[in-house]
Amino acid sequence: MRRASPKFGPKPVPDLSAPLPAPRAGVLLPRPLAGAYDYKLPSGDNAPRGTLVTAPLGTSEMLGVVWGPAEGAVGDNRLKLAQPLDGAPRLPEKLCDFIDWVADYTLTPAGAILAMALRSRGAFEPELRRTAYVKGEAAPPRLSEARRRALAVAQDGLARSVPGLAEDANVSTAVVRGLVAAGALVATTLPEFAPFAAPDPAFAPVTLNGEQGRAAQALREAVAAETFSAHLLDGVTGSGKTEVYFEAVAAALATARGSRSQVLILLPEIALTAQFLERFAARFGVRPAEWHSDLSQKERRRVYRAVMRGEARVVVGARSALFLPFPGLSLIVVDEEHEQAFKQQDGALYHARDMAVVRARIEGCPVVLASATPSLESFVNASGGRYAHHVLARRHGAAELPTVTLIDLRRNNNDCSHRLAGRDAVDTALKAQWLSSPLRAALQETLAAGEQAMLFLNRRGYAPLTLCEACGHKFTCPSCATWLVEHRYRRRLACHQCGYETAAPPDCPECHESGTLIACGPGVERVAEEFAAFFPATRYAIASSDTMQTRGEIQGPLRAFARREIDVLIGTQIVAKGHHFPHLTLVGVIDADLGGADGDVRARERTFQLLHQVAGRAGRADKPGTVLLQTRNPDDMVMQALARGDRDGFYEQERAFRAAAAAPPFGRLAAIIVSGYDGEAVRAVARELAKAAPPAKDVKVWGPTPAFYALLRGQTRERLLVQAARGVDMQGFMRAWLAAVKVPGAVRVTVDVDPVSFF
């Protein structure tokens, strides 16, 4: 792990080869408690680390895991009994070690991390069996037409449920039951879940080009070495990174021996699309197992179980898949490794990319980080030689990188410029507000050529602020003090922080004037409205996370665009990532200055990454792409680097900035967030924390200051920031500090090691 100082390492793990002093053990419960608790085990039971047990806690029974030897000297009669589960399932030992490591690093109780690894409660229960029917020997006495049809279908020998056969044969379930009663169909049992078919590494390999081939070869060798190594697969969008790491996956599947046979591919939740799964199936013959927040309980149980038994060979998952009980990993891939979405922002604050590197090290297998715009951390690791660096410089085939042109909003289109900056006048249909004339001309040309276009704005809804022209009243969230965003299609005003919503009122609630409320600034819905006014005959759709709540609904507009049922896609981040649209040749960015979070250390990097990704959607096949960036800061280093296509120039400059500021990865950061409903108590704890900071060399403590969201969901929030030199034992420092302050129950203190957002 690149940030680990020599002083800092995983907690010493008990000697696991020595038999535990049965019959007692320390059992970790999936709760944010201090550590493992001692329990008795049934006599004669040898329960090694990882053994799953049910353990009484208070008045309830809960699932727990044998974590190590018992510690206390409590007499046997005072200990409660923990009972190993039927069939003695166990979490792999290396997963237990990983959980300890993550807990230690993030200063989170190990039980809270364990809870993430036990996400499927039902996975350890005995498998249910289903009854199904196959054709029997006996012939039914009376053969109606319906019965004949049902038997004809059953002729294939497949086992079906009663409703299943009824549906396949288009008969009623009564007909099928009649055949069962007559003995013409006989019962059999099926496993609860369909098994996962093994992906076939030889199913449909592609012929790689030269630079792809070299990268793939290096990754294959790393897999064959069966030992830890870290790789940055750094290739421009469309260069074939996915094809290359698929070769590493194929190698892992083809050469895997013994229990080292599984592969984990981590994707940001938003990139985990049907398109990706289908692409995997096209290469390997079957879909991989998937793991993400939208799975049903049942599907969760199926995948968890199959992973634990080594039957699911490849899992494609969002960050939480990192805590699945793989008995033997031979490869981990983190695609779009720069994505901020890999950092979990509530509960245990861990960064899945960084922890993937840790898990690979514990498992003793390679990890591949793939991106067209790596995080500066990974870029520095790769150029410093800590990670192997595999560069794919060219798009595959005829595709060329798009040309990027800046549209200076200050000169080019005055009406757009002042409106993007702030207040607008009354809406007038055909007066351009957000689409500058060069962008409209380019849209015209693209559509006339029968090609597709995408408009991108990093802002959901219709307008980010609603204001009364008469009295100046602004609509804000009652519990967050943030502006309410207008969602015109739904006629709602919504808080994007807490989800509070209210109907959009016709009149000002403050001065009661009517017709004085004006929408300020654009969201995607408003851009779409203007687009439709200028291009009334063009088919378009909006893709934004709040017009589309479920994963399935997100796919709709994207699929329609891929099938060319629409010509223009107008969207937020959702459209920026990973998609491949061969006929998309024009990308228009409505407000390029709205990229990253203001003022934080990664703002430039994030803006660059986002715009580079969006731009990368254009011209991915044989037709060249054009990208137009509307900006009020055309001289900014990010805009300049994008226009020149000088990615590495941007990275070098950014590296120099960060090094000079001792910002990550050249220094370490940790944040403390103090929150609670009682503002005074929160501020008092924050002040006390600031006073109690232990003096330490090369450590600076800033704050407390009100957080960016100083009021969130009704809670007051204060922040402190710790900045330390790279060699400092941050965890040790934080532990000593936190131990020095007593925090009342009504105030919460959250530690965020390596924060990526500063709200």
Nearest to 554 by CA among 543, 541, 539, 538: 543
Mark residue 521 as left, alpha or beta (left: phi above 0; alpha: psi -120 to 50; beta: remaining).
left
- For Zn ion, give the closer residue by CB, 202 or 471: 471
Q: How far is the CB of 682 from Zn ion (least distance, A)?
A: 18
Backbone angles phi, psi at 561, to 5 degrees: -70, -45
Of ligand ADP, Zn ion, none, which one does residue 238 interact with (CB within 5 to 8 Å by kind)?
ligand ADP
Question: How many angstroms separate the CA atoms of 630 and 408, rounded?
Answer: 6
497 binds, among ligand ADP, Zn ion, none (CB under 5 to 8 A by kind): Zn ion
**Euclidean distance between CA atoms 727 and 667, whole angstroms:** 8
Let me know: does 491 contact 503? Beta carbons within 8 Å. Answer: yes
A 10 A CB-CB count for 168 gives 16
- Strands (E) across 321-446 are located at 329-335, 366-371, 388-392, 403-408
Per the listing, tokens 């996915």 go with 242
Contact 469, 528 (CB under 8 A): no
Q: Tell me if 449 contacts Zn ion by CB under 5 A.
A: no
Strands 366-371 and 699-712 turn out to be unpaired
Which burial class, exposed, middle or buried, applies to 155 when counting CB atoms under 10 A from its CB (0-12, 13-18, 19+)?
A: exposed
Tell which positions 538-597 bind ligand ADP, by CB under 6 A.
Answer: 580
- Binding residues with Zn ion: total (CB under 5 A): 13
Cα four-point dihedral sign 462, 464, 467, 469:
negative
Q: Per-residue x/- marks for ligand ADP, 210-229, CB under 6 A?
A: --x-----------------
- Cβ closest to ligand ADP, residue 83 vs residue 452: 452
Instruction: Round to whole Å and give the CA distance between 605 and 436.
Output: 26
Q: Give, as ranges, the residues between 389 and 418 that touch ligand ADP (CB under 6 A).
A: 396
Question: Which listed option, ligand ADP, Zn ion, none, makes contact with residue 242 (CB within 5 to 8 Å by class)?
Answer: ligand ADP
**Per rule CB under 6 A, is residue 729 in the interface with ligand ADP?**
no
Chosen from ligand ADP, Zn ion, none, partner binding at 239 (C-beta under 5 to 8 Å by type): ligand ADP
DSSP 298-317: HHHHHHHHHHHTT---EEEE
Q: Is 643 in the site for ligand ADP (CB under 6 A)?
A: no
Q: Footprint of Zn ion on residues 453-472 (CB under 5 A)? A: 468, 470-471
Which position's Cβ is nearest ligand ADP? 240
Rounded to whole angstroms, the Cα distance separating 520 from 483 reads 11
User: Cα dihedral sign for 409, 403, 430, 543?
Assistant: negative
Say whether residue 243 binds ligand ADP (CB under 6 A): yes
Which CB sits closer to Zn ion, 372 or 508? 508
The rounded distance, in Å, linking the Cα atoms of 288 and 317 is 10
Burial string for 703-719 (b: 16+ CB within 10 Å, else e) reads: bbebbbbbbbbebbbbb
Nearer to ligand ADP, 92 or 578 (CB): 578
Pairwise CA distance, residues 223 & 689, whole Å: 47
| Residue 701 host element (H or E) | strand 699-712
Close Cβ partners of 210 (under 8 Å, ≥ 6 residues apart)? none
Minimum CB separation of residue 562 from ligand ADP in Å reads 12
Please, what is the minimum distance in Å from the beta carbon of residue 399 to ligand ADP?
7
Q: Is there binding between residue 619 and ligand ADP (CB under 6 A)?
A: no
Minimum separation from the CB atom of position 572 to ligand ADP (A): 20
Question: Out of ligand ADP, Zn ion, none, which partner does residue 471 contact, by CB within 5 to 8 A per kind?
Answer: Zn ion
Stretch that binds ligand ADP, among 33-41, 231-239, 344-352, 472-480 (CB under 6 A): 231-239
Part of the chain binding Zn ion (CB under 5 A), chosen from 154-162, 381-389, 473-481, 700-708: 473-481
For residues 239 and 392, is the Cβ–Cβ distance under 8 A? yes
Among 22, 180, 206, 421, binds ligand ADP (CB under 6 A): 206
Residue 330 site contact among Zn ion, ligand ADP, none (CB < 5 to 8 Å, cut-off depends on kind): none
Provide the H-helix boundaries in 373-436: 376-383, 409-412, 414-421
Positions 100 through 159 that interact with ligand ADP (CB under 6 A) = none
Coil, helix or strand at residue 577: coil
Applying CB under 6 A, the span of 117-125, 190-198, 200-208, 648-656 interacting with ligand ADP comes to 200-208
Site string for Zn ion, 486-505 (x = CB under 5 A): ---------x-xx-x-----
In order of 428, 463, 510, 532, the CA distances from 514 in angstroms are 19, 19, 11, 28
CB of residue 277 to ligand ADP, shortest distance in Å: 14
**In angstroms, what is the minimal distance from the CB of 94 to Zn ion?**
41
Q: Which stretch binds ligand ADP (CB under 6 A): 147-155, 204-212, 538-546, 713-721?
A: 204-212
Segment 313 to 352, residues that bind ligand ADP, using CB under 6 A: none
Give CA–CA dist 98/114, Å, rounded. 10
Interface pick for Zn ion out of 480, 519, 669, 670 (rule CB under 5 A): 480
Residue of the chain from 24, 241, 459, 526 that contacts ligand ADP (CB under 6 A): 241
Nearest to 135 by CA among 148, 116, 123: 148
Q: Considering the rule CB under 6 A, would residue 238 count as an interface residue with ligand ADP?
A: yes
Options 106, 108, 229, 237; binder of ligand ADP; rule CB under 6 A: 237
String of contacts with Zn ion for each residue 511-550, x by CB under 5 A: x---------------------------------------
Cα–Cα distance for residue pair 718/604, rounded to 1 Å: 25
- Residue 607 binds: one of Zn ion, ligand ADP, none (C-beta under 5 to 8 A by kind): none
Name every residue whose Cβ is closer than 8 Å to that of residue 249 and which is 6 or more positions away in sequence. 199, 201, 263, 265, 284, 314, 331, 333
Nearer to Zn ion, 401 or 468 (CB): 468
Partner touching 277 among ligand ADP, Zn ion, none, CB below 5 to 8 Å by kind: none
For residue 2, which of 363, 379, 357 has the smallest C-alpha distance? 357
Site for ligand ADP contains 208 (CB under 6 A):
yes
Query: Of Zn ion, ligand ADP, none, which one does residue 113 interact with (CB within 5 to 8 Å by kind)?
Result: none
Residues contributing to the site for Zn ion (CB under 5 A): 468, 470-471, 473, 477, 480, 495, 497-498, 500, 508, 510-511
Residues contributing to the site for ligand ADP (CB under 6 A): 206-209, 212, 235, 237-243, 396, 580
